[in-house]
Amino acid sequence: MHISKKAAGMPSSAIRKLVPLSDAAKAKGIKVYHLNVGAPDIKSPECAIQEVIRRCQEMDHFSYTNSAGLMELRQAMVEKYYKKLGLDVEVDELLINIAGTESFAEAMQIVADEGDDIMVVEPFYTNYKTFCYANGINLVAVHSDIKDGFRIPDISEWEKVLTPKTKAVLISNPCNPSGKLFSREEMLKIGEFCLKHELFLICDEVYREFCYTDQEHYSALRLKGLEQNVILCDSVSKRYNLCGVRIGCIISRNKEVIAAALRFGQSRLCPPVLGQFAALGALDTPQSYFEEVKAEYIRRRDYTIKRLNSIPGVFSPTPLGAFYAIASLPVEDAEDFTRWMLSDFSKDGETTMVTPIATFYQNPENGKNQIRIAYVLSVPQMEKALDILEEGLKTYCSLKGFKQE
């Protein structure tokens, strides 16, 4: 017997595929600093936790909710969150999903058939490639380069990779993994491009709260004339540090898109009930929480970037959003280095795990010597983790004969 060709070819997660190596290191008594996953150590809002406790105490069983999610949650998200941001969203334009992940997967299947193209700026969240692979969709990349801080290429470069089969543009704003923050002017140009070529614009705004400039986050929902083109994917995972509750949403003013998303949603019956309760409670999070969290991430980012760029041979541009940094290393293969750090290296019984990001590019060679670091630990913990990374890199380069310049 053999598994299917699709199953055999399903790409592994660049973020998680090396977990067995970190587990093996821990089994040997080695402490691993996890800078590989965007799972922060920030405390979740107390109001989210208390809402789950309250609901559990009131219930004697957990039944299905509507496939579109709890109406109470949908209404609260519209009134307590999106309208407070100045984003005109109606309840029937928003469906609750299993985190942002389901929303991305649904959106791709809604806009593209097998063999069609979706355009994306690289580097991109690696699961975009996974979802496209699973549905026979081609991901076509517009390249942004680490050397110029992942500046978005001129629209003339987008025109070059446009094909008759292109159905949509997919962007992450702020971007995972680069930390790129799209300006209002860039969003307007991308909107004009989509309008000109009758393309959907799928926008991942999961990291909306994590912008580190005076520039206001410019949502795709603000684009005029693209009401029928925009599909917004969002999540409570990062905003409230509720990654494990697995609640997100898909938003579109296009009634055909929302009707299709609901049909997809019906196939998984309903979003997680307890997660919906947590999301409902989280909507009462005070503004002071976001201000404190943002200030903490700026501290972590500033330390991380300064520290990375102080290591010989390492370059990391300053991210303006999210909580990730990409760094180029003086090595030929960042995945080999990452594996070696977990299986062959430790400093005082500790090591550091990062994410090699070749597969965050459509052409893996573009990122073969790069890693993504999630600055999700406190500054003292980041200091220890990056000290270990520097020592490990020095030892690895010496063993391999690479020059740190």
Question: Cα angle vertex 120, ends 115, 123, to 5°?
Answer: 125
In the block, which residue shows the tokens 């597969």?
359
Q: What's the CATH number where 360 sits?
A: 3.90.1150.10
Q: What's the CATH number where 108 sits?
A: 3.40.640.10
pLDDT value of residue 358: 96
Total structural domains within the chain: 2
Q: Can you tell me the distance from the alpha carbon of 259 to that of 267, in angstroms, rounded to the nearest whole number?
A: 13
**Residue 304 resides in a domain:** yes
Q: Can you tell me the distance from the alpha carbon of 250 to that of 261, in angstroms, rounded to the nearest whole number?
A: 8
**Residue 235 resides in a domain:** yes
| Crossing angle of the two packed helices 99-111 and 255-267, in degrees rounded to 10 | 120
**Residue 404 resides in a domain:** no
**Residue 403 resides in a domain:** no
Which candidate, 171, 167, 211, 200, places its Cα nearest to that of 187?
Answer: 171
Say if residue 52 is in the same domain as residue 186. yes
pLDDT value of residue 17: 85
pLDDT value of residue 216: 85
**Residue 24 resides in a domain:** yes
**Residue 141 resides in a domain:** yes
Q: Can you tell me the distance from the alpha carbon of 218 to that of 235, in angstroms, rounded to the nearest whole number?
A: 17
Say if residue 261 is in the same domain as residue 170. yes
pLDDT value of residue 74: 98
Say if residue 262 is in the same domain as residue 344. no
Please name the helix (run of DSSP H) or strand (run of DSSP E) that holds residue 19, with its range, or none: helix 19-27
pLDDT value of residue 15: 76
Three-class secondary structure assignment of 85-153: HCCCCCHHHEEEECHHHHHHHHHHHHHCCCCCEEEEEECCCHHHHHHHHHCCCEEEEEECCHHHCCCCC
Domain limits for position 355: 5-43+287-397
Say if residue 221 is in the same domain as residue 350. no
SS3 267: helix
* 87 close to 281: Cβ distance less than 8 angstroms: no
Say if residue 162 is in the same domain as residue 227. yes
Q: Can you tell me the distance from the alpha carbon of 384 to that of 13, in angstroms, rounded to the nearest whole number?
A: 26
Residue type at 293?
Answer: V
| Domain final position from 282, 299, 323 | 282
Residues of the chain with pLDDT under 70: none
Which candidate, 38, 368, 323, places its Cα nearest to that of 181?
Answer: 323
Say if residue 213 is in the same domain as residue 323. no
pTM comes to 0.95
Q: Given strand 230-235, what is the order of strands in its sheet?
A: 94-97, 248-251, 230-235, 200-204, 166-172, 117-122, 138-143
**Residue 234 resides in a domain:** yes
| Domain final position from 282, 301, 329 | 282
Say if residue 244 is in the same domain as residue 378. no
> Which two tokens mark 31?
């402490």
Say if residue 153 is in the same domain as residue 9. no
Say if residue 297 is in the same domain as residue 185. no
Reported as half-sphere exposure (CB side, CA atoms, 13 A), residue 197 has a value of 23
* 358 close to 38: Cβ distance less than 8 angstroms: no
pLDDT per position as a tens digit, 173-183? 999 999 999 99
163 phi and psi angles, rounded to 5 deg: -130, 165
| Domain final position from 263, 282, 301 | 282
Say if residue 68 is in the same domain as residue 110. yes
Say if residue 54 is in the same domain as residue 149. yes
**Residue 402 resides in a domain:** no
Neighbour tally for 60: CB within 10 Å:
5
User: For residue 11, is the peptide bond before it cis, meaning its omega torsion is within 30 degrees of 0?
Assistant: no
SS3 22: helix
Say if residue 297 is in the same domain as residue 174. no
Q: Can you tell me the distance from the alpha carbon of 335 to that of 291, in angstroms, rounded to the nearest whole number?
A: 36
